Amino acid sequence: MRIGLLWRAEWDAADRPETARLHGMFAAFAALGVAAEAVVYSDGTVDAIRERLLELDGVLVWVNPIEHGLDRSRLDPLLREVADAGVWVSAHPDVIEKIATKQVLVDTASMSWSADTYLYATEAQLRRELPARLPSRGALVLKQERGMGGGGVWKVEPAGEAVRVQHAAGDGKPDTLPIGTFVDRCAEYFRKGGVMVEQPYQTRIVEGMIRVYLSHDTVVGFAHQYPRGLLPPDAPSPPAGKVFELPSVPRYAALRTRMESEWVPELQRITGVDTVSLPVIWDADFLYGSGEEPYVLCEINASSTFAFPDHAMPAVAGAALRRIAARIE
């Protein structure tokens, strides 16, 4: 069995398993008797990467949707092509589109994990409707469809005839400006059919965020971290880094139960993604809710779920090998 681990050269130029960022995953496959192969992707080497991938039985992919000014517009068609040729791909681009863009917040708005969510499909709609919605809605968070590191995620609240905005990326300092100027800044998010999603601002963001790691439909770990973007200006500086937890940690027992028995099955029903098509590693981010529900879904990540707990890597490798073996048989 031949399996590749694919990442973008700009994310990690190393091509040796022992020095790559994903060295733990290489070790997990080696422990199961499979020498995984490094596939270092760049947009300028699509033809060569296609030849490499077609020689493999399967490939796990770690490529962020937007990074270093690059996107997945050349990679995703390539992954669809090799998948159609019989190579197992996780996460498949079609699955990412169904469960791991901000659109999923709208699609699952009826679920109990959801805040009150609203979709802006065009720049014109945002320009027309946001001024009317803000006075009664208070502080909102607007998110572009695909991004990373807080890019395109804004806290917006009324400030007289203007708006007070705070970008989750960069220094995150609030700014007050005319609402039309803010909409101008958001225009780029609607290019190529993009959308923006609106949710209420969660005031308990100062308490941190819980990341739930899953392999297919099974929780394989947790992390508690403190996002720096969108914190109130007077909030104390949050701790850095993540604290990884085992899936069995009592602190998140109720959250694990709801993910596995309620939310993941409902997500599958809404999106039409069956269990074996769910990524072998993905995560869902939750903020602490201020209402009856203790947790509110912030986003789902499947394009490049990293870092994730070392203790989860054997389960991820095992799940990948089972999926490939089932296809080969």
Q: Where are the domains of the chain?
A: 3-91+315-328, 99-114+204-302, 118-201
Q: Which residues contact 84 (CB under 8 A, 6 or more apart)?
A: none
CB 289 within 8 Å of CB 204:
yes
- Strands (DSSP E) contained in the chain are 3-8, 37-41, 58-62, 66-67, 70-71, 88-90, 118-120, 140-144, 153-159, 162-167, 175-178, 196-200, 209-215, 218-225, 242-245, 282-288, 295-301
Among candidate residues 216, 218, 236, 217, the one with its CA nearest the CA of residue 228:
236
Assign domain 3-91+315-328 to a CATH class.
Answer: alpha beta
Q: Which residues contact 38 (CB under 8 A, 6 or more apart)?
A: 4, 5, 14, 15, 16, 17, 20, 26
- Strands (DSSP E) contained in 42-106 are 58-62, 66-67, 70-71, 88-90
pLDDT value for 15: 87
Strand order in the sheet with 88-90: 37-41, 3-8, 58-62, 88-90
CB 57 within 8 Å of CB 317:
no
pLDDT value for 222: 98
pLDDT value for 67: 86
3-state helix, strand, coil in the chain (%, to 5): 35, 25, 35
Q: H/E/C letters for each residue in 145-189?
A: CCCCCCCCEEEEEEECCEEEEEECCCCCCCEEEEHHHHHHHHHHH
What are phi and psi for residue 66, nearest 5 degrees? -140, 120
Sign of the dihedral through C-alpha 191, 268, 59, 286: positive
In the predicted model, residues of the chain with pLDDT beneath 50 are none
d(CA 73, CA 92): 14
- The pair of structure tokens assigned to 42 is 């760049």
pLDDT value for 119: 97
pLDDT value for 129: 97
pLDDT value for 128: 96
d(CA 302, CA 90): 9
Q: Residue 77, exposed/middle/buried by CB under 10 A (0-12, 13-18, 19+)?
A: exposed
pLDDT value for 24: 97
Radius of gyration of the CA atoms of the chain, in A: 20
- The pair of structure tokens assigned to 308 is 């994730």
Quickly list DSSP for 296-318: EEEEEE-S---S--GGGHHHHHH
pLDDT value for 74: 97
pLDDT value for 163: 96
Q: What is the CATH number of domain 99-114+204-302?
A: 3.30.470
Q: Provide the whole-model pTM.
A: 0.95
User: What are 194-236's pLDDT values in tens digits?
Assistant: 999 999 999 999 999 999 999 999 999 999 999 888 988 888 8
